[in-house]
A = this chain, B = another copy of it.
Amino acid sequence: MSLLLRGGRVVTMDPSRRILEADILVETGRIKSVGTLERRKVGTKKPLILDCTGLIVLPGLVQAHIHLCQTLFRGLAEDLTLEAWLAQRIWPLEAAHTETSIYWSAMLGAAELLLGGTTAILDMESVRHTGAAFEALESIGIRATAGKCLMDAPSSPSALRESTDLALQESAALCARWHGAAGGRLRYCFAPRFAPSCTGPLLRAVSDLAEKAGAVVHTHAAETPLELELVKRERGNDEIAYLDSVGISGPRAALAHCVWVDKEGIARLARQATNVVHCPSSNLKLGSGIAPIPEMLAAGCRVGIGADGAPCNNRLDVFTEMRLAALIQKPRHGPDSLPAAHVLELATLGGARALGLQAEIGSIEEGKCADLVVLDLEEPHAQPEDADLVSRIVYSAQAADVRHVVVDGHVVVHDGVLKTADTREIRRGANTEARRLRRAVGI
């Protein structure tokens, strides 16, 4: 099946960052051509046409740190520090998950993500029922790299802790089942929660397994000073250096947060080409701080962006994260720091790299996967129309401006409506399960 996006203004994010008035022809899930297409050149098969006249076409936006399993906890864990937030709310709620609640949590989150222009995610699930999340991701049509959360350290909450062997065995089985599924749209990641939750042997084994499978390692790092101190005390090293020492570094690793990283840590992240995933809303809401993103970019670090989980945000909105990423650095570094064009890179090319998919997604170029977002910026809030387009996208646009979304050549959102699932059914399923979870943990 072929698809033609006709007449849009295309923000390519190609190496010369061209912005073109162009048609985009999609065949078998890939971008076949970008440019003005004469009608006869479309070929004999009549493509499905998306009229993009007056609209903006972007590469599908990428969020490289999401917890879909927490979407049902939105609004249930307000005004707490990370440590209290985890121990009092998130861990008990995760422990109460069933296959059904994991499924609806993923459906609710993925619906919000797709409707808001996020086409690809790096997702950390909970310890159990990760297969149910993959089933949701398969049916709803988002591009996702997801993994079961790993927690084997003695200090982990007993309701979630697993033995090292069982945790690794289940991970390997999930990887065998889902890595490359749905025509390559779904991939597996190995997801140790964070250094304090995991033993050294588990972290080393994860690094080996991920390398063998060609999979990403997805974890958290350096989110709070408390976490930093704990790792230093227990493992005798700075967290970034410790993770590096057990093999969790380099292009295959994605470290969410990295708020509390010093100059040496930044140099190490840059040297190893480790992916940092910036989560500005989450870092503010939990009071963690502001990550030194301009310093990281100046040092040559790879940086992506993500909303984290719904209870620490409370949105899964890449437009909110982009705007906030740009704004929060300016009081510290001046109003010209992290300009709009750099921020758009985090949410496209930076995210693609964090997922190990830079050859497949993150820009609109011939041969890449057809992951595309069509924006309508004609409403008053994004006018006048002659201002810098990237600035309009980063500072003015909002999730509700997303008109159409294409993933892997399939139109998953059309005219603002999700085509791959019924949002009323998702609402019903999600609310039923959210109520059950609240009762189960007594909140």
Contact = CB atoms under 8 A, between A and B. Distances in A.
Interface of A: 72, 74-76, 78-81, 85, 108-109, 111-112, 115-116, 281, 283-290, 313-317, 320, 323-324, 327-328, 330-331, 333-337, 339-340, 378-381, 383-388, 391-392, 395-396, 398-400, 423, 426-427, 430-431, 434-435, 438
A233 B12 CA distance: 51
B381 A317 contact: yes
A379 B430 CA distance: 12
Nearest to A327: B284
Contact of A380 (B115, B283, B288, B392): B115
Given A285-B330, A285-B335, A320-B323, 10 more contacts: A72-B384, A75-B384, A75-B391, A78-B391, A85-B335, A284-B331, A290-B331, A379-B423, A380-B423, A380-B426
Contacts of A290: 331
Contacts of A398: 315, 317, 398-400
Contacts of A315: 381, 395-396, 398
Contacts of A314: 391-392, 395-396
A335 B386 contact: no
Nearest to A79: B336
A385 B108 CA distance: 12
A383 to B, nearest CB: 6
Of A379, A380, A435, the most chain B CB neighbours within 10 A belong to A380
A272 to B, nearest CB: 27
A346 to B, nearest CB: 17
Nearest to A338: B79
A334 B74 contact: no
Given A81-B335, A331-B289, A398-B398, A383 B108 contact: yes
Given A74-B387, A79-B339, A287-B335, A327 B381 contact: no
B334 A81 contact: yes
Contact of A378 (B313, B395, B427): B427
Contacts of A285: 327, 330, 335, 395
Residue among A74, A81, A337 having the largest count of chain B Cβ atoms under 10 Å? A74
A435 B384 CA distance: 9
A438 B75 contact: no
Contacts of A384: 72, 74-75, 108, 430-431, 434-435
Nearest to A435: B386
